[in-house]
């Protein structure tokens, strides 16, 4: 669809190889070899790839001076993903959600589980309907619902009062925040907090 649209607009067409970088091309070749060697290569690439191939999400949540919330999530996708796979990032409620009555969430991780359990919206629903803090709601979903089902990943959450939570059930998650005049905080592992 994108190629057809670009042709209709008269844009210059180039070979797909134009977009390759040597590093990413080698990563793809290695991923394909790993999948070929697996006992069930028809299964999702996710199960066979090293951690380096799985994550590439960038997310943001924000609250403005009037207490209005927003969230955004973008992903580079998953190396060697199955044709037609759509992750959680573009699915509102799975990888991204913002509701001025509860919180804003952006997620990263094993997208199929985030989709199945509507993770971002579930966290906000727990804040809104159960009266939980963003920290407690995030922990219930990430360390409970998601982890119990076998899903891995994490989220960043903010509410209208500026309370922030960034739970994850993986070894680490690159994350940070900035509040008003305060110093920016950045962390990767749990002990960084």
Residues involved in catalysis: 57
Contact residues for 1 (Cβ-Cβ < 8 A; gap 6+): none
Element (H, E) at 40: none
Instruction: Say which residue the tokens 């290695």 belong to.
Output: 30
What residues does 73 pair with on adjacent strands?
Answer: 59
Phi, psi of 114, deg, nearest 5: -65, -35
Element (H, E) at 187: strand 185-187
Distance between CA 117 and CA 130 in Å, rounded? 17
Cβ–Cβ under 8 Å, residues 120 and 95: yes
Q: How far does CA 102 lie from the centroid of its chain?
A: 20
Q: Pick the closest to residue 147 from 113, 122, 118 (CA basis).
A: 113
């Amino acid at each position: 669809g994108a190629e057809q649209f670009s042709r209709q607009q008269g844009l210059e067409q180039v070979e797909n190889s134009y977009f390759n970088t040597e590093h990413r091309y080698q990563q793809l070749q290695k991923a394909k070899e790993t999948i070929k060697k697996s006992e069930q290569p028809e299964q999702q690439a996710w199960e066979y790839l090293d951690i380096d191939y799985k994550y590439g999400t960038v997310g943001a949540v924000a609250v403005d001076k009037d207490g209005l919330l927003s969230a955004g999530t973008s992903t580079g996708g998953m190396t060697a993903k199955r044709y037609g796979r759509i992750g959680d990032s573009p699915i509102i409620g799975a990888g991204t959600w913002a509701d001025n009555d509860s919180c804003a969430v952006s997620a990263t991780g094993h997208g199929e589980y985030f989709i199945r359990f509507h993770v971002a919206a579930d966290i906000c629903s727990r804040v809104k309907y159960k009266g939980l803090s963003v920290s407690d709601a995030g922990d219930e979903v990430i360390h409970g619902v998601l982890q119990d089902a076998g899903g891995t990943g994490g989220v960043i959450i903010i509410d209208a009062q500026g309370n922030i939570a960034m739970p994850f059930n993986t070894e680490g998650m690159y994350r940070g925040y900035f509040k008003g005049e305060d110093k920016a905080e950045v962390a990767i592992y749990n002990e960084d907090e």
